[in-house]
Structure 1
C-alpha cells in the first residue's frame, strides 16, 4: 500500500467509524443479502458482532503504519476464522459488502481513490488471513 492509500483509509474510517451501529447494520444487511448462507456462521448477538467488526477494522486501520505487527494480528485472526467455518470464497463477499457499506456511509466522499485504497487495504488483510488459515487447515507434510 502506498502512503497516500494509508492516509485515505485512515481519514475515511475516521468519518465512517463514528456512525457505529449504522455502519454495521448496513454491512451485515448487505452481507446476508449477498449470501444468506453466511448468517449461520454468526452465533453472537449481532450488536456484539458489529462491535467486533468495528474493532477489527479499527485495528487494521490503526496498524497500517506498522505492517509487520499488523500481519501477526491478522494471521492470528485468520487462524481463528477457520474455527468459525470461514471459507476463502467468503472473503470476496465480505469485501463487496464492506465496499458497498463504505459507499453508503461516505456518500460523495466515496471516490474512486477511496474505493481503491480500501480495496488495497482489504486485499492485504484478506490475503494475510487466508494464508494463515491455510496453514491451519492444511498441515505441512513432513
Structure 2
C-alpha cells in the first residue's frame, strides 16, 4: 500500500463512516444480488448487527493500514474464522465487487479513479491474506498464496 493509497482510503472512509448503517445495508443487498446463494451463510445472522461488525472491521483496517505488522495477523485470523462460516475462495471477488460498488454509491463524485484504485488494492491485499489463512495447513495452495 502506497502512502497515497492509504490517504485516499482514510479520507474516503471518513466520508462513509457517518452513513455506516446505510452503507452496510447496501453492501449486503448488493452481495446477495451478485450471488443469492450466499444468503444461507447469513440465515441465522442479525444482518444489522453483522453490518455494524463489517463497518467496525473496515474501520480497524483503515486505522491500521500504516502498521501492517498489526493489521495483517488480525486479517489472517479473520480469514481462518470465515472459512469456518463456509466462506470459499470464490466468494472473495464477489465481496470485493460489492464493497467497491457500495463505496461508489456512498461517495458519489468523491469516488474518484484514485479512490477506486486505492480501495481495490487494499481489498486485494486483504483478500489474499484471508484466503491464504483459510487454506488447510500444509496445503500446497497455502504456501502458494
**Structure 1: runs of 5 or more not aligned:** none
Give the Cα separation in 1 of the matches to 2:94 and 2:85: 16
When the two structures are aligned, how many residues end up with a matched partner? Answer: 138
> Which string of whole-angstrom CA distances, capped at 9 and with x for unpartnered residues, describes residues 58-111 of structure 1?
111111010011011001101100110000010000000000000100000001
TM-score normalised to structure 2 length: 0.92
- If asked which structure has higher relative contact order (CA below 8 Å, sep 6+), I would say 1
TM-score normalised to structure 1 length: 0.94
Residue 121 of structure 2: aligned partner: 120
**Structure 2: runs of 5 or more not aligned:** 140-145
Residue 44 of structure 1 aligns to a residue in which SS? Answer: coil
Alpha-carbon shift at residue 25 of structure 1 (Å): 1.1
Establish whether residue 107 from structure 1 lines up as the match of residue 108 from structure 2.
yes
Give the Cα separation in 2 of the matches to 1:140 and 1:32: 33
The aligned runs of 1:15-26 (5 Å cut-off) are: 15-26=15-26
Residue 140 of structure 1: aligned partner: 138
Alpha-carbon shift at residue 30 of structure 1 (Å): 0.4
Runs of 4+ in 1 over 4 A off after TM superposition: none
| Aligned alpha-carbon RMSD (Å) | 1.0
Residue 90 of structure 1: aligned partner: 91
Residue 20 of structure 1 aligns to a residue in which SS? Answer: helix
Give the Cα separation in 2 of the matches to 1:69 and 1:116: 23
Alpha-carbon shift at residue 140 of structure 1 (Å): 2.1
Establish whether residue 77 from structure 1 lines up as the match of residue 75 from structure 2.
no
